[in-house]
Amino acid sequence: MTSLLEQPQRESTYLKLARELRTAILRHDYPEGVRLPTEAQLAEHYGISRQTVRRAFQDLVTEGLVHRVPGRGTFATPRDEQYLRQFGSVDDLMGLSIDTRMRVVTPLHRRVDVDAAGRLGLHTDRVHRLAFVRLHEDTAFCHTAVSLPPAVGQLLESVPELTEPGTPSASTVIGFLDGRLPEPIAEAEQSITVAEATPELAEHLGCEPGRALLRIDRVYRSVAGQLVELAISHFLPEHYSYRVRLRRSGR
């Protein structure tokens, strides 16, 4: 029977393995059709139990990053189908591109924003900023304001979908960054609260000013730990749901 002192170590090993596999998938070490190492191979390589490996794989399957083929093995999900569920409980922005559209309402531009710069850990008060609404079947259900560090924002200055307002796009800001950053985005911190609709938000979302909205803040980090994006989204609550799987520690 595993002692309580051993449980944190086992949990740490499982989380570390899941993170390493997740990062390798994001870096395209396992392109479509290339099988990931087997449970036995990973257990031998890392000197851990197959149960620990299996637990890491289960989370990657749940996140939508890998799928299992009976008799063949485990494979990375095709890139255009991958959800960023590897961010833990973060709602998957890349996955939104499957059945929604983004319409820019404030094109990418440079501006002074002391609060956003502070949250991104910058040594300057200037950030790159854009805002968009997300549409599902032509219904706007979310308004998002994105702030980027100058070096990150410059990577997107030539993207017409972000610099020309009004044209719906099937992409996401995360999707555009994913192929341009030196290191892929690996994780995010998220907070959820309630906010009232300002006149501007009400106009974009088609609701009355003062309406209660869900405000969701996300700060994204790359594999190297660099803060690369601050996204502040306001959702109409009837168009948003939040689900997360909870697990008892040590189980």
Q: What is the reported pLDDT for 2? A: 33
- Model confidence at 91: pLDDT above 70: no
- Model confidence at 89: pLDDT above 60: no
Q: What is the reported pLDDT for 31? A: 83
What is the pLDDT averaged over residues 34-40?
A: 92
Full-model pTM? 0.64
What is the pLDDT averaged over residues 43-64?
A: 88
Per-residue burial over 92-106, b if 16 or more Cβ lie within 10 Å, else e, is bbbbbbeebbbbbbe
Lowest mean pLDDT, pick from 87-96, 147-156, 174-183: 87-96
Q: What is the reported pLDDT for 243? A: 54
Spatial contact of 43 and 50, defined as CB atoms under 8 Å apart: yes
Spatial contact of 157 and 163, defined as CB atoms under 8 Å apart: yes
Q: How confident is the model at residue 213 (pLDDT cuts 50, 70, 90)?
A: very high
pLDDT tens digits, 219-247: 999 888 899 999 999 998 877 665 555 55
State the chain's mean pLDDT as an integer.
Answer: 82
Nearest to 107 by CA among 142, 155, 145, 139: 145
Spatial contact of 215 and 233, defined as CB atoms under 8 Å apart: yes
- Model confidence at 98: pLDDT above 50: no
Q: How far is CA 200 from CA 64, 70, 110, 129, 234, in A?
A: 36, 52, 20, 16, 12
What is the pLDDT averaged over residues 184-199?
A: 90
Q: Which of 129-138, 195-204, 232-241 has the highest mean pLDDT?
A: 195-204
Spatial contact of 106 and 166, defined as CB atoms under 8 Å apart: no
What are the strands of the beta sheet with 139-148, ordered from one edge? 168-169, 101-112, 126-136, 139-148, 227-235, 212-222, 185-196
- Model confidence at 90: pLDDT above 90: no
Nearest to 128 by CA among 144, 115, 117: 117
Q: What is the reported pLDDT for 104? A: 94
Spatial contact of 151 and 229, defined as CB atoms under 8 Å apart: no
| Between residues 136 and 214, the one the model is more confident about | 214
As a whole number of angstroms, the distance between CA 100 and CA 135 comes to 5
What is the pLDDT averaged over residues 179-199?
A: 89
Q: What is the reported pLDDT for 240? A: 66
- Model confidence at 25: pLDDT above 90: no
